[in-house]
Structures are given as structure tokens and as C-alpha cells.
Structure 1
Amino acid sequence: MDMGLKGKTAVITASSLGLGKAMAQGLAQEGANVTICARRNNPLETAKNEIEKVGGQVLSIKADMNSKDDIEKVISETASRFGKLDILINNAGDAEVGRKIEDEDEVWQATYNINVWSCVRAIRAAVPHMRKNGGGNIINVASVSGHSGLAGMADYNSAKAAMLSLTKTFAADLAPDNIRVNAVNPALIHTPLWERLAKENFVGSVGDSVDEVFENLSKQMLLIPRYGKPEEVADVTTFLASERASFVTGACWNVDGGFTKFII
């Protein structure tokens, strides 16, 4: 099936590892040109080399998604290099477990800065290029935590809930510009983030190793009793970015192994 992505230009934020790299690879495999960005040069260049092997042109930019200037640089350099911007995937984010009501403002601000403000700033920078191009496609990587909050993660849960609300609102605001806006809600995906969270918080209580933690949590929480793969999320974002999803906007897709039990 032709996904209609050949020659499209995409920016994927926080894309040297895990979900971001998989989503960039998925688009590149369909012939899209992709911009990847991250804070560390070595993983960024490794990812660039891997993605170039599957197709498309790759622009890699060292950037911190906490920085408004860096976000604007990623968007402007992409438009300059490829002449347009068709797709934006907001993947930047971070999480911690064990948050408390006593946490100071700085803790909350850091979480909101990387999860919410990076999304707002990237959309704000990208939309003028998409309008100039006659339309575009924005995908926000939220989380099931945005609609089913997990204990000890109030800052992260509420930040992801904000991303879901932004998705619905921007879908309405940008529809007249032929810009579709959707979100994906992953749960328990085997990524460096979840490896760190498992090692720091759950080894010893949920399992004796990271692998055992993954196995036990997935059996407890999911209908499909295993952790998801980054490529399984990337398959959904590739579809949402494609012409095959041309009638889909304002949607929030759970890619969660059956974690979500309510009807949506």
C-alpha cells in the first residue's frame, strides 16, 4: 500500500533513541525526508546513519527541546534544507516516579517544560511553514497517563493530559488550514526511558531485574502480556502521518496493549 509519504518532510523531536528513532525510521522507509534532533551528538549521529540505510534524506541537529531557540532552529533549518515542512511529531518528554504534593514549583515546571512547552513551541514554529505549503500533519506523543493517571506521577500525568487537550483544540483551530492534528498514547513500551524508570523504581519490588519488571508489569496491566516495541508505535504514527489517514484529525490513539479499558 502506498502511504503517500514519498518526498514529504518531517521533523521528529527527541529522536536519537527509542520511540523517536523508530518513528523517524518508519517515515524514512516510506520515502520521507526526516529531521532528527537530540541533545547528545553520538546517539544522534548513530541514529542518522541507521535511518539513512532505510531510505530518505536525514538532517540531524543537536538541540535541546527545553530551549525555545533550539526548537525554532530545528524547524527553520528543516524548512531551509528541504524547502518545506509537512509533518511534525512532538516526541520530546520525560518522566519520574515518586512525585509528592510537597514537590516545589521547579519540579513541576521542568516536567511541563519538556512535555508541554516543547510541544506548544514546536507547533507554533511549524504552523507558518505548513500554512505556506497548503497543509500539514501534527502528531503529539502523549501517554495513557494523560487519561488514566498513575500514582506518584501527578506532574507527568497532568502534562500528558494537557497534550491531549492541545491535540483536540489545535485540531479544531487548524482545520481551516488543512492541518490535521492527532495524538498517540503509548503504554509500557520498551524504551530507554522505561528501562531507567524500571531500574530506579521497580527492581527489587516488582522484579529482580529490569526484564522481570517488564514481564510482571505487562502481565498485571495489559491484555497483551508483554511490553510494546517502539516500532509498534511507529507503525501507528506512520499511518497517521500518511494520506491513508486523510480523514483522521483530533483523534487520540491508544497504542497500549489493552491498558485502556474504557470506551472512547
Structure 2
Amino acid sequence: MGQEISGKIAYITGGSSGIGKAAAHHFAKEGVHLGLIARRKENLEETQQELETYGVNIAICRADISKPDQVKTAVQQFEQKLGKADILINNAAISDYGNFQDMDEEVWKHIFEVNVFGTYHVLKEVLPHLVSKQKGDIINVSSSNGLKATAGSTAYSASKFAIQGMSEALMQEVRKENIRVFTMNPSLVATKLAFGDKLEEKNEDKFMQPEDIAEYMVAQLKLNQRIFIKQSAQWATNPF
């Protein structure tokens, strides 16, 4: 038998759109209380209103995860309003594409500041919650680009490869605390991160949807505490 996640507390970064928002909806359906971090206040407020219909506790905080002081404030607010986290979903990320020689150094730095250091800042603040409970779950959303790089994605791929290394090492460190670290590596998902302003052109018969990834997250979290999936890749069946 697996385990129920109803009544647990999850903090989700990038929780107002794409995979993060879909995860919030699926978690709320399961009775999970939610703390959502994102950069756009209006999107957070809209998501909060949608989630209130599930009857769970919701807290939101506008924050840029590349800023450690903002992350610290958000986590403190969530702890006061909801309690310490049982689940952490590191989902927030940015991307930019272009040939290595053409990409500006500042773009490179910003991608790492958000994708790598942002994940670090959130982990630094939330991991003590899980350690104090001697139990918990962390899902780091990497990318298929973190397993196999593609031309034109040097900065993004490098940042996602870094997430792989950080996740692997962290997993080894915290297993003795009964904390599970899952790393997910989805291929192309129909989100603004991948499609930009052309998201309305997504083909639901071909491309993975945020809801697919959210369902997979729930399934992982419901596994018996004695087992976890260290690393997994999610692919569309026939996107051609």
C-alpha cells in the first residue's frame, strides 16, 4: 500500500502558471495545503481564487527566487500561515535560446541565478522543515535538456545539468533523514516556457500537458515511504 498525501503542506515555486499551477490544482484535489511562490502577483491571486474551491489552506507570496531575501520572507510567511513544509516542488525556471557565441553573458548569468541559485535558495530555507520532521519529499523539476543537451541551449542545458548534480548529491545526504529527493526530466511540455506567445497553438493530442506532469508528481508522492524514484524522464508518445 502507498500513502495518502491529504493534510500535508506543499510549497511550490512557479506556482501560478504551467506545471506549477497544474501541480497546485492536483495537490489541492488531494487535500494538500499550499504555499505558492511566483513573480507575478496577479497570476498568483487568480490561482489562489481558483484553488479556494477545494477547501484547503492557500498562501501566496510574490518573490523572485534568485533573491535570497525574498525567498526567506516567503518561506517565513508560509510557515506562519500554513506550518512547516512536508513537500517542496522546485519548479520555477527560465530559459533563453541562441547560439553560444551570440548569447550575452548577462543572459547566461541570469539563467543560472534563477534556475540553479534560485533552487538553492529555496532548498536552503525549506530543507530544515523536512529535517525537523525527519520525513519529507522534494521534487526538483529539471528537463530532458539536463540529460542530453541540444544545440542553441547551452545556458539552459548547463543550468539543468547543474540541477541533476545538486539533486543527486542532496539525495545521498538526506536519505538518512527519511527525505526523498525526486528529479523529473520532462521533454517538451505545453507551457509558456516552451511555447512562449504561441501557447494557444499547442496540440493536446501530441504534446505533454502540465496536467500530465502534475499527475505523475502525485503518483510519486503516494508511493510507500520506503521507496522513491530517484530520477525519471517524461516524454510525449508521438509528438510528430
Deviation by residue 1:211-239 (Cα, 9 ceiling, x = unmatched): 3xx56xx9xxxxxx711110000011112
| RMSD between aligned residues | 2.1
Assess if the C-alpha contact under 8 Å between 1:142 and 1:186 holds in 2: yes
Matched AA of 2:100? K
- Residue 21 of structure 1 corresponds to 21
- Residue 217 of structure 2 corresponds to 237
Deviation by residue 1:28-59 (Cα, 9 ceiling, x = unmatched): 11111011121112111111111222342111
- Which secondary structure does the structure 1 equivalent of 2:36 belong to? strand
Alignment of 1:205-224 (within 5 A): 211=201, 214=202
Equivalent residue pairs, number: 238
In 2: Cα distance, 1:30 partner to 1:11 partner: 15
- Residue 228 of structure 1 corresponds to 208
Deviation by residue 1:110-132 (Cα, 9 ceiling, x = unmatched): 01111111111111111111111
Which structure would you say has the larger Rg?
1
Q: Give the alignment partner of residue 252 of structure 1, picking from 231, 234, 239.
A: 231
Matched AA of 1:111? I
* TM-score scaled by length of structure 1: 0.83
Residue 258 of structure 1 and its aligned partner are, at CA, apart by: 5.0
After superposition, the Cα gap between the structure-2 partners of 1:228 and 1:182, relative to the gap in structure 1 and judged at 3 Å, is same
- Residue 150 of structure 1 corresponds to 150
* TM-score scaled by length of structure 2: 0.91
Q: Identity of aligned pairs, percent?
A: 28
Assess if the C-alpha contact under 8 Å between 2:65 and 2:121 holds in 1: no
Residue 171 of structure 1 and its aligned partner are, at CA, apart by: 0.6
- Residue 59 of structure 2 corresponds to 59
Deviation by residue 1:238-260 (Cα, 9 ceiling, x = unmatched): 122334464015x121112259x
Q: Which moved more, 1:11-20 or 1:102-111?
A: 102-111
Q: Which consecutive residues of structure 2, in runs of 5 or more, have no partner in the other structure?
A: none
Q: Which moved more, 1:135-144 or 1:104-113?
A: 104-113
Alignment of 1:174-193 (within 5 A): 174-193=174-193
Assess if the C-alpha contact under 8 Å between 1:96 and 1:197 holds in 2: no
- Residue 125 of structure 2 corresponds to 125
Residue 198 of structure 1 and its aligned partner are, at CA, apart by: 5.5
Q: Which consecutive residues of structure 1, in runs of 5 or more, have no partner in the other structure?
A: 200-209, 219-224, 260-264
Matched AA of 1:43? N
